[in-house]
Structure 1
């Protein structure tokens, strides 16, 4: 750690890092639980695919709608306080969906989860940025890795409960209770030993050129990540001819390599800097997705998806970290603008792939993702060069 950390208290900063890492885990685990129980929620209300789609859309709309407000709240009251409040609320909200008696009320529950996760996402990333600045070296990637690990643990744990016959009405409240407990304990360790600098500038403002550049890269990255979640299994099955079991594990491969890349990402970012790391990452992702598009068989496509996970692993952590260093813009305000644009891309990307695939086929549609990754590679230097680039401790 840097001398800044020594002045602020090494143990206190390390405790804050552990606490915010736990919040990232809780957030990812909650989404894993939600995803695992979606089929049971659908069956319980006898929803068709279109009705379920509106439920899922409700969560995305809630998250995007809350992010600008989250930026204001984090700027006004500090990300520590907002994270400490938002994380337990998000966990508790996960208990509500099984008790919704109709599709509109289930969509309302999903909207509430989206609202809470949107606030939590901005606040916890702003807090993680403050912890990173206290450390004086990159730590954002390893913190983000625990979001992915949480998703794997939450999904696997919920799947285990379902296999034991534990339905949504018992399983989701149980998971909510456990995650709320973890979030509550973490809240006591979030505070940094010195007050956080909330940053200069108003909480609401028009984005400057630096924010626009970072937002454009976030948009491209989230478009690709959203498409991987929704379309990787379909691509492997319908375009590459993979067996059903192998196709279903395509996104798992993407997620696993992304998690691995983030665990080692801090060292890479410290050695290469954000601009070069993101540029190389985008190039790897573009190449990997091109391999997927032209793959002559399912196994090569599967390998391309895994390589794409490595490529995208450290893009978003680097962008969110850079948001806290945009000159003249409050860190939470910059982060909320960049995250809102990014998550909008994650929401819009999968439907866009569907429309293009319907007209021209999945392989042509996936060329959109190749282009998006290439934009990340080509735009990294201008978007992440100093003064928005990394500072070394």
Structure 2
């Protein structure tokens, strides 16, 4: 096999435009989430109101996921993404008005809160379409021989935008205020919509016109459960996110366990993200095609160990190092998961398979935050984190033992066949 070109996907103009569009969207979405959480807590002073935000987003995102995948597989992807982006811009504009001085000064807190919840709910509905559409569009922008490289760059762009959006969201609140920050989000979304039309319309690869929705949804779910490699990586990531997530209770560790204050809290958050971003970019140089399954299992196992180390640590620098390693391991597993999904999913089923992925992994973020908070309340933060890391290790061992297809997975032949 020829030497891997780490910039192969970046040599395609439309893919570069796609990455820029995705960065703007994710950056704006992440910044908007942080700002809304800040604003809601500022006007209510009730932690439960923050939990309701997650609930309002996850209910439509989860319940619509399979139907969204069915629709995505039967629609032209560029225009569908543009339509979703235009709708997202209306949410940002609405949130801007709801946080403006004229509305805050004249509306009741309850009215503003309910309107924010309604817009977040609509955003969750859109989220169910964004994931499958973006996943399907990537495969139409690059040749099959560089799917693995495109998946790495796309995932890295998403993670970088997510981290930087959350970081700048906090800064912009203090610099220009909540309402003007949301106005900036609106501008970024409109800018992404403008550049989206520099991508040409793509062919619709699913030709099963008139196929009943029930049969279509059933086919997508059955494909995932029959394809042991995909089922294995989705299960691994779901358990790792559900039990191994520590972000939701990092503030507890910063204030009550490590006693490092807001500055230390920021460093703890940053260490996870830096580890993840660094390793995702490194994977563009280091091939993951050989012994892919073992690398996936090892990366999630290391993630579990690092989470346990963080839970047991009472030294700040050890905690930072443990979180950096957890982010690095998580970054590797994310790239491997996206690569396996791109290579093992038929073109006409990408929307539905991506929707099942979002149900497995995407929904686990909110559920994982709830699990972490509940476990910390019942068991204490240290025991909760150690328990989560232990559950992750047990899951890796179990899946490695019962799923030899994933354990022995090697993508060398898949990539070589695509390169022919």
Q: Same fold (TM over 0.5)?
A: yes
Partner of 2:101: none
Q: 2-side partners of 1:316 and 1:199: how far apart?
A: 31
Partner of 2:354: 335
Match of 1:117 among 117, 127, 132: 127
After TM superposition, the structure 1 = structure 2 runs for residues 5-154 of structure 1, keeping only pairs within 5 Å, are 14-38=12-36, 40-42=38-40, 45-100=43-98, 101-131=111-141, 134-139=144-149, 140-154=151-165
Q: 1-side partners of 2:238 and 2:306: how far apart?
A: 19
Q: Does 1:309 align with 2:327?
A: yes
Partner of 1:351: 370
Deviation at 1:86, TM superposition (A): 1.9
Q: Does 1:209 align with 2:232?
A: no
Match of 2:274 among 230, 248, 256: 256
More divergent stretch after superposition (105-114 vs 45-54): 45-54
Deviation at 1:58, TM superposition (A): 0.8
The higher radius of gyration belongs to 2
Change (3 A) 1:12 1:311: closer
Q: 2-side partners of 1:103 and 1:291: how far apart?
A: 39
Change (3 A) 1:355 1:291: same
What is the DSSP-based 3-state SS (H/G/I as helix, E as strand, rest coil) of the residue aligned with 2:260?
A: coil
Partner of 2:299: 281
**1:72-118 superposed Cα distances (whole Å, 9 cap, x missing partner):** 12211143432233234324422322434422221111111222223
Structure 1: tracts of 5 or more residues without a match: 3-9
Q: Does the aligned pair in 1 maintain the 2:257–2:314 contact within 8 Å?
A: no
Aligned length: 382
Partner of 1:299: 317
After TM superposition, the structure 1 = structure 2 runs for residues 225-240 of structure 1, keeping only pairs within 5 Å, are 227-240=245-258
Q: 2-side partners of 1:97 and 1:363: how far apart?
A: 37
Q: Does the aligned pair in 2 maintain the 1:92–1:177 contact within 8 Å?
A: no
Q: Does the aligned pair in 1 maintain the 2:290–2:411 contact within 8 Å?
A: no
- TM-score norm. by structure 2 comes to 0.79
Partner of 1:382: 405
Q: Does the aligned pair in 2 maintain the 1:282–1:311 contact within 8 Å?
A: yes
Deviation at 1:42, TM superposition (A): 1.8
Q: 2-side partners of 1:138 and 1:390: how far apart?
A: 13
Change (3 A) 1:337 1:316: same
Q: Does the aligned pair in 1 maintain the 2:56–2:124 contact within 8 Å?
A: yes
Q: 2-side partners of 1:12 and 1:31: how far apart?
A: 24
Q: Does the aligned pair in 2 maintain the 1:84–1:183 contact within 8 Å?
A: yes
Q: 2-side partners of 1:35 and 1:389: how far apart?
A: 39
- For the aligned residue pairs, the C-alpha RMSD in angstroms reads 3.2
Change (3 A) 1:122 1:13: farther
Match of 2:192 among 178, 182, 194: 182
Deviation at 1:189, TM superposition (A): 1.8
Q: Does the aligned pair in 1 maintain the 2:307–2:385 contact within 8 Å?
A: yes
Deviation at 1:371, TM superposition (A): 3.3
Change (3 A) 1:241 1:156: closer
What is the DSSP-based 3-state SS (H/G/I as helix, E as strand, rest coil) of the residue aligned with 2:314?
A: coil
Q: Does the aligned pair in 2 maintain the 1:215–1:338 contact within 8 Å?
A: yes
Q: Does the aligned pair in 2 maintain the 1:324–1:334 contact within 8 Å?
A: no
Deviation at 1:327, TM superposition (A): 6.5
Change (3 A) 1:333 1:387: farther
Deviation at 1:313, TM superposition (A): 0.3
**1:108-129 superposed Cα distances (whole Å, 9 cap, x missing partner):** 1111122222311221122224
Deviation at 1:55, TM superposition (A): 2.3
More divergent stretch after superposition (124-133 vs 180-189): 124-133
Change (3 A) 1:390 1:309: farther
Deviation at 1:295, TM superposition (A): 1.5
Q: Does the aligned pair in 1 maintain the 2:28–2:188 contact within 8 Å?
A: no
**1:270-302 superposed Cα distances (whole Å, 9 cap, x missing partner):** 453532331221122122112112223222112
